Amino acid sequence: MNKRLSTHHWFNESLFNEALIKGFLLVIGSSCLMLITLNVVSAKYQLALIESILLILTICVWFCPKQWRHYKWVVSIYVAFIFACILIGISFSPLHSGRQVWVLIFPMTSYLMLGKRTGFWLSAVCLCLVSTILFLRFYDDFKDGLISIVVNLFLAYVFLWGLTHGAERVHKKMLYALKKIASTDPLTGLANRRNVNQNSLYQLQQVTGMGDELALVLIDLDNFKKINDTHGHEVGDAVLVDFAERLRAHVDDNEQLFRLGGEEFCVFMPAAQSKNWSVAFCQYVDDSLFYFDELEIHYTVSIGVSCSQKGRGDFKHLYRIADQRLYKAKSLGRNCVVLMD
């Protein structure tokens, strides 16, 4: 069975880049094994030794943990060795040997291993040195033919660099779009619960910095199943969309809004304003009618509110308390707010 790249890799840029690098290392390592075999058979032991060193370095980079403080040095040595091998191969090999073609791996090598900026300048240096060596060694023999070779080499370099850079940019845009799709409720356009825990920690840091605590306002539409059963799911969906729009109109930052599932929503806000906001919003929903075609629908909400204490309170803790208070609001007859047990 073919092993596929896990979904986790597609949504994590660093893991995806690591997978690309390992794919590149696998190609280099496999090529080294084949070339070592060919050169040993041809009694070219010096070349086989150089390729063996490159293979060992490739294995070292493969197994070297990225968290290790010397990881960048290992990668730099690896790229420098490839750079040196390319230059040595061109300096001592005849033009018809075909070893010059290995210069084309350097743009991708430097980009993947060292990043865009460093990779760009190293590739430019490599291209200049290779062109200089080719002109010094072969111009007298090939004249204009060599100029054509160097021009094609330059164009190939530009193409490979552009392809690598373009692929990275496209991947980043796709990654952003996938994350957006995965973390957004398709019906209301609000964020779903995928990143709610991470968002709650960010909101907690923000309000703590202002000397306040974080409130989780948990909201549930009352008797929503009755709306679906009476008017159908199309009307039920329209009610959810209408309610999401009401939330957006009453919250300054849409990053604070989440649809947790079904008819359950939550809002993060500073604790100091949560009481007045919750009571006012509950009353606003009760006072407002929703019109769908010729239907006039009145719906209400129940709200439970929980607050962090002394800058501590993850989403699970806040949600558990808010859910208990929401349940209490339901038991009190719905269309009300419960702020404490």
CA R_g for the chain: 31
SS3 of 296, please?
Answer: strand
SS3 of 245, please?
Answer: helix
SS3 of 217, please?
Answer: strand
Stated as kind and residue range, the H or E segment containing 226 is helix 224-231
The torsion of the CA quartet 70, 75, 76, 79, rounded to 10 degrees, works out to 170
Contact 183, 24 (CB under 8 A): no
The C-alpha atoms of residue 252 and residue 203 are separated, in whole angstroms, by 14
Contact 36, 51 (CB under 8 A): yes
Stated as kind and residue range, the H or E segment containing 302 is strand 301-307
Selecting among 168, 213, 234, 263, the annotated active-site residue is 263
| β-bridge partners, 191 | 184, 258
> Would residue 263 show up in a list of annotated catalytic residues for this protein?
yes
SS3 of 107, please?
Answer: helix
Q: Give the single-character DSSP code of 221.
A: E
| β-bridge partners, 297 | 290
Catalytic residues, which ones?
263
